[in-house]
Structure 1
C-alpha cells in the first residue's frame, strides 16, 4: 500500500470516527431532551391534548388495548340537579363519592417478571395506564362528582412504582394543617398488595403550625383509625442543624417547651431516624417470621439494610424532610411544586437507606382547583382566577387574624348580610392593594400581585389556619382562642376588634364608610354630584328669569276664568307699548 493510500485511509477512518462521535452526541442530546419531556409533571391537559394522546396510544397499542366500553348518555342528567338546593346538591355529591370511592385508585403496575423484554414491559404498562385514565374519565363525566387535577404522566407514576416496590416502610408526608387532604388511602392499599407486611407511616410535617390541643385531637383520630403517624417539622429540624432554634408560632412566653406526650410531641431529627429504622425493621422481622419475601421488590427476608421510601404531594415539605434527615442539601427545595423528578437513594447508615420519590398529585374527590392552588399543590404562577383562590384563604382564616397580620381594616358586612360571614375576595384584595400601594399599569388595583402574595403567605404559614378532625363539633373547635393567643402581641394597635361571632350589630357609620369605599355605584354617583355642583348653582340664578310665573292671573279676570289683556298707551319719551 502506497503512502497516498495510507494517508487516504487514515483520513477516512478519522472522518468515520468523527461522524460516530457526532451521532453519539446527537443521540445523547435527543435522549436528554426526551428525558426532560418524559419527566415533566402534567396535571392538566386540554381536550385536544387528551384526544391526541388517546389517539396515539390507541394506534400504538391497537393489537393489545381493549376498546373502551360505550357509556349511555343520560339526557335528564342536567335536570336531575337543577332544582336542588346547595345543601341537597352537596348531599347528592357525597352519596356519589361513597358509591364511586372504589373506582378512585392510583394506577397499578401490571404483573411483570425478569424474563420480559423492555418493549413488552413498556407496552403492558402503557396499556394498563391508558385503561386507568379511561376509568377516571368516566368518573369525570358524572356531574355530581368533582375530581381534582391529578398526575397524567405515566413516567412519573413509574417512579412511584419503583419506590413502593423497593421500600420496606412507606412514609407519606402530609401537611399538618389538613392531613386528610394530602393522604391517599388507596396508596396504602396498593403497598399492602405488593407486600402484605409493608406498612405506611403518616409523617405530619409542619406540625409546629398546630397548637398542642389540635395535635391532641388529630392524635385521637389517628388512633381510632389505626393509622401510624408522627408529628414532625422539617423547618425546625433544619434550623437545629444550623445551630438555630425556632419557636413555634403557637407558643406563648409562659410555655416554650413542647409536650412530652409521645403522641403529640414533634420529633427531632435523630428521634425520627431511629423511629423510622425501628418501624422498618419490624416489617422485615414480620416478613422473616412468615417465611415470605417481597414478591416484586427483590428484598430477601434476612436483609440487613432497611429501605424507607418517601412519597407525597408536591410542596408538602418532602424534599426539606430528606435534607434535614441526611444532614446536608441533597434535593432541590423551592416554593414551586414538582421540582423533584427522579427518585433518589440516600444511604444514612449501614442499616438505613432513604428513597425519595417525586411529588405526585393523587386523584381525589370534592376539592376544587382553587383549593389545590391555595394548598400549594398547583403552582401559583398558573393561577388565572385569582379571586376564587383568594376566597379560599378568606374562608379559612378568621377576619380578625387577617386584619392583625396585615395591619388593615376590612369592610364590615352590610346590615342585611350575616355579620359573621368571611370577607369577600374583592374586599380583601382591594384593601390589601390600598395598604401596600399595589397599582397596575391601567391605574386599577393590582389584584393579581396582591393575590400571589396573600397565597404565598397562606402556604408558608404567615396566615395561620388548620382543619379539625372529622366529627369534631364547633363547640370544641379551639381555632379562635389559639389564633387570638398567637397574635395577642400584634393586635395592640387595633382600636376595636371586630365581633367575630357577629352577635352585635355593626356601627352604621362604618358601614357607610365601607359602602363609599367599595360600592362603585356610590363612588361614581358621588363623583358625578361633585362635578355638577357649579352647573346647578349657575342654573339656579337663571331659573327665575325662565320661569313662567302665572300668579298675576289670580283676581285679574272677568269672572269667566280667562285673563284680561290690557293695552297701555305709549307715554311721551317712553319705550314701546307693552301688553299685560
Structure 2
C-alpha cells in the first residue's frame, strides 16, 4: 500500500491563522448591504457557541449580533489613544435623552397576524418585516450615527411575547445612564398604542448621590406624564458590610454573605401596582409575602430556581392578551443588558430565582416566575434598542461585552476626561510626564498591577484597559451622567422632598449618607466591587438597620 504523505511542520503563527479562520467560519459572519448596495457591513455574533449544549435546539439562536468596525476605523482610534486628554466640565456631562432617540429610530414591532396563519407563514412574514426594518434604518439620515443595537430577530421576538403577555410593563434602567436607556418609542407604543400601564424603575441608586436620582426622577415625570417612576437597589444598606470607600475615593462595597429581601423597593412597586389594578386583582398575598420575607435571611449562594417557558426553537406562537386573566397580574421586565433585571427579580422574590451574570446576553429567553398565585413576573432578555448613544457609553453601561472589544482606548478616553483616573487608581505616569493619554493610563495601571505579556514581558495594555472598564461597569469607578439643567438646579435637588424616599430605599445610615453627599464628584462616582485593589487591612463593620422590619410584627 502507498505510504501516506509525510506531515509538513508549520509555525505557531500559521496555527493561529488556522484557528482564526475556523472561528470565522463558525461565526458565520453575515454581510448586510445597504438599500443602495453601495457598501457592506460586517455583522458578528458576539457570544457564539461552537457546539450545541446538551444536543437540544440551537444554542446560537439568541446570540448577540452587532456591526463590526472597519480596519480603517480601528487604525484611527489607536492613533487617537496617544493624544492627550481634555477634561470635560460638569455642565458638559449633562445629557438630553431626546438627542439619542430620533423619531426614525423606533424599535421593531411585531407585524399583524391572525389565527389563520401557519407558523411557517408567520415566521416568513416576520423575517421579511425585520429585513425591511433594517433596510429602512440603513437608508435613513441617522444611519451613520447609529450605535450598537440588537440584530437578532429571535431576541426581538422575546420582547414581542413579553409585551403581549404583560399587563404592566416594568422598564428597568441603570440610573447612571438613565437617559440613554429610555427609548421614547417604547413608551409611545406601550402607553398610547397598547393602552397599558408602564413603570420606570431607576435601578442601582446606591451608586450615585441621592440628588442625581431625584433629578432623573423629576425629568422623566415631567417628560412622560403617564409614566410612574420608582427607585430601586438590590444592595440596600443592610445587605452591605465593611468600609464603603478607600483612601483614593473608590467605594469598595461588599455584599453580606446572607441577603435580605429588598423590602423598601418591593413595597413601592406594590403600591404602584395597587393604584393601577384597583380591585381587579387581589394583591394581599404579595403584601403578606413582603412582611414575612422582611424578617427572614436568605443565603446568597442558594440554588437558583429557573422560571418556566424556556424556548428551544423559533417562537412563532399566538397569544391574545386578556387583561388580568384569571385574576393574575403579569409584570413584564424589560431593559438593556446589565441594568439589573434579574437582580431586581431576585430582590423582589426574596431569593435567587434567576441566574445573574455580568455578560450581556446571559438571559437568552424570556421566563416567567410566579411571585404569588396572583402576581406573575416575566423577564425578557436584555435588548439594545436602536439609538445614537455614543459607543463608549454603551460599553460603559454594559451593552457590549468588554472582552469582545477590539479597541478599548476610546472608552478609556471618555471615562478619563470625566473622572480623575490617575488619582482614583493611584498610578504614576509611566514616562514621568505631566500630560496623560488613554494609553498612558492603561500602561500606568498595568505597571501597578503587574500585567505583563507572556513572551516579551511588556506592559499588557489591553489587559489593563479591560480591568479598568470592568471596574467602571461594576461601579467601583462610577461615572454618572446628569439630566438637563442639573448643574443650575443642583442645590434645589439636594434639598428636594423626594430625598427622604430615595434614602429610605437606599437604607443607608446617616454616616453613609453624609459621606456620599459631601465627597467630591470624583470620589463619589464609585461603588461595589471586589477587594483586589483595597489597601485597608481591616474593615469597620457598620450596623445597618432594616427600617421595614417593623411591619413583620404587625397583624
- Measure, in 2, the Cα distance between the counterparts of 1:461 and 1:100: 25
Aligned ranges 1:105-124 → 2 under 5 Å: 105-124=106-125
Residue number in structure 2 paired with 1:262: none
1:162 Cα offset (Å): 0.7
Aligned ranges 1:172-211 → 2 under 5 Å: 172-192=171-191, 195-196=194-195, 198-211=196-209
Residue number in structure 1 paired with 2:461: 447
- Measure, in 2, the Cα distance between the counterparts of 1:275 and 1:487: 26
Question: CA offsets, 1:432-466, max 9 Å, x none?
Answer: 12222222233432100100110011111111221
- Measure, in 1, the Cα distance between the counterparts of 2:470 and 2:209: 21
Query: Higher helix proportion, which one?
Result: 1
Question: What is the TM-score normalised by the length of structure 1?
Answer: 0.58
Residue number in structure 2 paired with 1:137: 138
Residue number in structure 2 paired with 1:316: 339
1:391 Cα offset (Å): 1.2
Residue number in structure 1 paired with 2:501: none
Aligned ranges 1:232-251 → 2 under 5 Å: 232-236=232-236, 240=239
- Measure, in 2, the Cα distance between the counterparts of 1:248 and 1:168: 39
- Measure, in 2, the Cα distance between the counterparts of 1:413 and 1:221: 44
Q: Evaluate the alpha carbon distance shift between residue 274 and residue 105 of structure 1 in structure 2; reply closer, same or farther with a 3 A threshold.
A: same
1:313 Cα offset (Å): 0.6
Q: Evaluate the alpha carbon distance shift between residue 412 and residue 146 of structure 1 in structure 2; reply closer, same or farther with a 3 A threshold.
A: farther
1:366 Cα offset (Å): 4.0
SS at 1:172 equivalent: strand
Residue number in structure 1 paired with 2:265: 272
SS at 2:103 equivalent: helix
Aligned ranges 1:549-568 → 2 under 5 Å: none
1:337 Cα offset (Å): 1.0
Pairing 1:379–2:401 present: yes
Q: Is the 8 A contact 2:338 2:398 kept in 1?
A: yes
Residue number in structure 1 paired with 2:152: 153
Residue number in structure 1 paired with 2:412: 390
Residue number in structure 1 paired with 2:503: none
Pairing 1:230–2:243 present: no
SS at 2:60 equivalent: helix
Moved more, 436-445 or 461-470: 436-445
Pairing 1:483–2:521 present: yes
Residue number in structure 1 paired with 2:78: none
1:354 Cα offset (Å): 0.5
Q: Is the 8 A contact 2:208 2:524 kept in 1?
A: no
1:168 Cα offset (Å): 1.2
Q: Is the 8 A contact 1:374 1:390 kept in 2?
A: no
Question: CA offsets, 1:309-339, max 9 Å, x none?
Answer: 1111111111111122222222221221111
- Measure, in 2, the Cα distance between the counterparts of 1:372 and 1:116: 39
- Measure, in 1, the Cα distance between the counterparts of 2:449 and 2:159: 44
Residue number in structure 2 paired with 1:513: none
SS at 1:178 equivalent: helix
Residue number in structure 2 paired with 1:424: 437
Aligned ranges 1:149-548 → 2 under 5 Å: 149-192=148-191, 195-196=194-195, 198-225=196-223, 226=225, 227-236=227-236, 240=239, 269-285=262-278, 297-300=320-323, 303-368=326-391, 370-397=392-419, 399=420, 402-410=421-429, 423-440=436-453, 441-473=455-487, 476=490, 481-483=519-521, 486=524
1:149 Cα offset (Å): 1.2
1:188 Cα offset (Å): 1.6
1:427 Cα offset (Å): 2.0
- Measure, in 1, the Cα distance between the counterparts of 2:161 and 2:320: 8
SS at 2:372 equivalent: coil
Q: Evaluate the alpha carbon distance shift between residue 248 and residue 206 of structure 1 in structure 2; reply closer, same or farther with a 3 A threshold.
A: farther
Q: Is the 8 A contact 2:197 2:276 kept in 1?
A: yes
Q: Evaluate the alpha carbon distance shift between residue 113 and residue 275 of structure 1 in structure 2; reply closer, same or farther with a 3 A threshold.
A: farther
Q: Evaluate the alpha carbon distance shift between residue 127 and residue 217 of structure 1 in structure 2; reply closer, same or farther with a 3 A threshold.
A: same
Q: Which has the larger radius of gyration?
A: 1
1:280 Cα offset (Å): 3.6
- Measure, in 2, the Cα distance between the counterparts of 1:339 and 1:30: 15
SS at 1:126 equivalent: helix
1:102 Cα offset (Å): 1.9
SS at 1:204 equivalent: strand
Q: Alpha carbon RMSD of aligned pairs, Å?
A: 4.1
Q: Is the 8 A contact 1:166 1:307 kept in 2?
A: yes
- Measure, in 1, the Cα distance between the counterparts of 2:525 and 2:390: 30
- Measure, in 2, the Cα distance between the counterparts of 1:234 and 1:473: 28
SS at 1:202 equivalent: strand
Q: Evaluate the alpha carbon distance shift between residue 109 and residue 437 of structure 1 in structure 2; reply closer, same or farther with a 3 A threshold.
A: same
Residue number in structure 2 paired with 1:543: none
Q: Is the 8 A contact 1:176 1:206 kept in 2?
A: yes
- Measure, in 2, the Cα distance between the counterparts of 1:98 and 1:487: 24
Q: Evaluate the alpha carbon distance shift between residue 170 and residue 300 of structure 1 in structure 2; reply closer, same or farther with a 3 A threshold.
A: closer
Unaligned runs of 5+ in 1: 1-28, 48-93, 251-266, 289-294, 418-422, 494-580
Residue number in structure 1 paired with 2:296: none
1:124 Cα offset (Å): 1.9
- Measure, in 2, the Cα distance between the counterparts of 1:287 and 1:135: 42
1:483 Cα offset (Å): 3.3
SS at 1:389 equivalent: helix
SS at 2:170 equivalent: strand
Q: Is the 8 A contact 2:430 2:443 kept in 1?
A: no
Q: Is the 8 A contact 2:206 2:235 kept in 1?
A: no
